[in-house]
Structure formats: structure tokens, C-alpha cells
Amino acid sequence: MDSILVTGGGVLNGEIPIAGAKNACLTLMPATLLSDEPLTLTNAPRLADIATMTALLRSLGAEVSSLQGGQVLALSSHDVNNLKADYDIVRKMRASILVLGPLLARQGHAVVSLPGGCAIGARPVDLHLKGLEALGAVLELKDGYVHADAPGGLKGATFEFPFVSVGATENILMAATLARGTTVLKNAAREPEIVDLAECLIKMGAQIEGHGTSTITIQGVQSLKGATHPVVTDRIELGTYMLAPAITGGTVELLGGRIDLVAAFCEKLDESGVSVEETQRGLKVSRKNGRLSAVNISTEPFPGFPTDLQAQMMALLCTADGVSVLEENIFENRFMHAPELIRMGANIDVHGGTARVTGVERLRGAPVMATDLRASVSLILAGLAAEGETVVSRVYHLDRGYERVEEKLGACGARIERIKGA
């Protein structure tokens, strides 16, 4: 397993290109299952999770070609001949459940392994299943698999999510495009990745309104065409790298960054003393002056503060002046980076879903362990400003969601290198 060695101390100056969104691409790819015509995705990120989704779609008989070094994905499900998504692939990546809705909508049958939990929480899929049942699906859970049937096809319905779920909104939105009649989704997720998916489905001939609001209305159609669609900018990669100059000092321009994707996050950066300037090419980030101030964070569904930036923000607040309170409201176990940051000298007190961070002058480098995707990058951010060397182990977590981290940060002056593991 590889590790990443970070030697802290220097400020960062330069520019970082932001890639296409992992969490948009992971729902856009299964959308190919809704049509027998080709779907081409551009601005695709080159990540381990994309490779896993590629393997899953290929296991179903779909064609996925990776072109231009992985930035373009050419997909076709014309020859889909297997309607079973096996546990050995699904367990690697929970987003695999997103093949269920499209497969069922177009093929009338699907067998998909339950994804199982992950480090940050149990992450059930009950809302995915309830939503599909609302559209007339007949589901049976057997030996760890969801057996889904839609005899006579899915039928439009009104379904209200009891709480916001990004994945369930995506699954039901995709299925509803081919259901007979009208579907109204209430308390739907509003994330930019949902908007991106809806815009791609509309290019494919779907009739969708209200995406980006809490109520999405879909008029089912007989079939969908092919399309070409650019994957939206990754707001989580964007927010992550905005924190690099905030933590070290210096000025970094995030190419392709869009302020509308990270508005709530930018409000907190501003409150803490970080300047964010919109430029022709993206967002320029630097400290306004001197030490940053403590701020309180409460994670919420979009447009609130994103849970996927909570760990990274905690790394920033470890050396801010004062006490910051971070409330993690989306996942039940998303503070695993805290004990690792404490190893670096941070002063953090975790109780349930709340972490109190009392800022210290400086962190000290230490050997630490990545536990999940966003925790891994928060430890790298902490290492950039820590005194001495930080070695982050188990960086396979990192490679799931961040493309070439050491290159992107290294280009701005960070002393960071990958140590090939056994």
C-alpha cells in the first residue's frame, strides 16, 4: 500500500486545475443503461472509483471506452446481457447501487447486491428501494441481493423523501424518466450533481423540471437517445484545494472553480479570514491577513455546508485562533480524521456528532493513517503546514477521489511525494 510523505512549512503559490466531479460522473455513467444509443461523457475525472464503475458496467455487458487519457468516456448499453450486479464489485463502491434504477426502468428486471456499509456509516439504501416501489417495482431481498421486477414497466407516482438523499434522488430520477406518466419527487436533493444528471438526461430526451429545487417533476417517455455531456466541475476537489493556501499562506488560483458550487463553504472561509476572489479562469484564494479565526460548522444537504468538506475544514481549524464547533449531521461516523489530527498535536474533543476544535499555534508532522476518502486528504492538508514530516498511510482511500494530488500540490511548491508501498 502506498503512502504520501508531506514535509510541512512552505507557503503555496501557483495554480491548480479542478477536474470533473467524481460524484457527478458516478451517476452519469449508469445513465447509459437507460438508452441503447451511445452516451459520451467529457471532462471525466481519472479516478479509481471511475474505474470501478467502468468494471461494473462492463460486467453487465455495457461497453465503456476510456479515451483521451480517461477524460472522455464513451459508453453504450446496447448489448447489455447481464442484469446482475455482483457483490464483489458493488462492495468496493457504494455508488454501484445507482445501476438499479436505470436497469429496472429499461430492462424490467435487475438483481443488485446490497452495497453494505462503509467507514463513515451504515449507509442503508432503504430510500432507494422505497422510491422504486413507489414507481411500481416489486422488490425482494434475498441472500444480500435486491431482486427487482417491474412487470409491465414502471408507473409514475408522487414520492416524498423523508430526508434528503443524494443517491436515492439520483436512482429514482433516472428510473422515472422511462416510467409511464408523471413522477413528482418531493424533498429531493438539490446538489449540483443532481442538476448535472438532470441536464444530461434532458439531452437524452427526458422531460424533467425543477432539478436543483426540492421538487422535481418528470414526464416519462418511451425511450431515451444518446448524448454528449461534460461532467460538472468537482466542487469537493475545488473546496479541498482552496484550503491548501488557506492553511499554508500564499496565493493559489483554482482553474475552473465556480463560486456558485461552494457558496456556503466560501462564507465560512470568509468568516475565518480567507479571501476568495473570482477571476477569469476560476477562483483565487489567499489569507486576508495573519492567523485565521475559529468558525462553527454544521453540515447540511446542498446548499448548506457540504459534509464532504467537513474533514478538510477541520484540518484548517486545528490552527485557527479560538474554539470551533463542527456538527456532522449527515453521517454517523465521520470524525475518524480527528484522532489522526490529534496525533499531530491538534486539540479536538469529539462527542457524538459534534467536534470541538481548540486552535493550537502549529501542528507537528507524524505518521498517520487514512481511514476514508475525505479524511485522507484532510491529513495531507494538515501536513502541509505542520512542522516536520507527515506520512499518510493507506492512500488507496485518497486515489478513489483525488487525481494526482502530489502533482497538483507539488506544482504550487508543496514538498510532497508518494512512497510506493509493498
Single out the residue of 167, 250, 282, 359 in contact with ligand EPZ (rule: CB under 6 A): 167
The smaller minimum CB distance to ligand EPZ, of residues 121 and 273, is found at 121
> What type of residue sits at position 268?
K
Its sign, for the CA torsion 51, 52, 53, 54, is: positive
The CA-atom distances, in angstroms, between 399 and each of 210, 274, 337, 358, 370 are 34, 28, 17, 30, 11
* Sole window of 71-79, 144-152, 163-171, 391-399 interacting with ligand EPZ (rule: CB under 6 A): 163-171
Sequence-ordered list of residues with C-beta below 8 angstroms from that of 319, at least 6 positions apart, any chain: 247, 291, 292, 359, 360, 361, 362, 363, 385
Q: Which residue has the cell 498511510?
A: 393
Per-residue cell: 86: 455482483
Indicate the length of the chain as a whole number. 422
- Give helix 166-176 / helix 126-134 axis angle, nearest 10°: 20
The smaller minimum CB distance to ligand EPZ, of residues 131 and 257, is found at 131
Per-residue cell: 42: 467529457
User: If residue 100 lies in a helix (H) or strand (E), which one and from where to where?
Assistant: helix 100-107
Burial of residue 260 (number of CB atoms within 10 Å: 0-12, 13-18, 19+): exposed
d(CA 160, CA 301): 16
The answer to whether 309 contacts ligand EPZ (rule: CB under 6 A) is no
Single out the residue of 6, 12, 208, 330 in contact with ligand EPZ (rule: CB under 6 A): 330
Radius of gyration of the chain (CA): 21
The smaller minimum CB distance to ligand EPZ, of residues 239 and 359, is found at 239
Window 93-132: contact mask with ligand EPZ (x via CB under 6 A): -xx-------------------------x-xxxxxx----
Single out the residue of 3, 233, 307, 319 in contact with ligand EPZ (rule: CB under 6 A): 307
Does the annotation count 200 as an active-site position? Answer: no
Say which DSSP state 94 is in.
G
Single out the residue of 6, 25, 26, 412 in contact with ligand EPZ (rule: CB under 6 A): 26
The smaller minimum CB distance to ligand EPZ, of residues 26 and 85, is found at 26
The answer to whether 48 contacts ligand EPZ (rule: CB under 6 A) is no
Single out the residue of 33, 34, 89, 166 in contact with ligand EPZ (rule: CB under 6 A): 166
The answer to whether 308 contacts ligand EPZ (rule: CB under 6 A) is yes
Q: Considering the candidates 118, 200, 266, 318, report the single residue annotated as catalytic.
A: 118
The smaller minimum CB distance to ligand EPZ, of residues 311 and 409, is found at 311
Give the catalytic positions in this structure.
118
Residues in touch with ligand EPZ (CB under 6 A): 23, 26, 94-95, 121, 123-128, 165-168, 307-308, 330-331, 373-374, 401
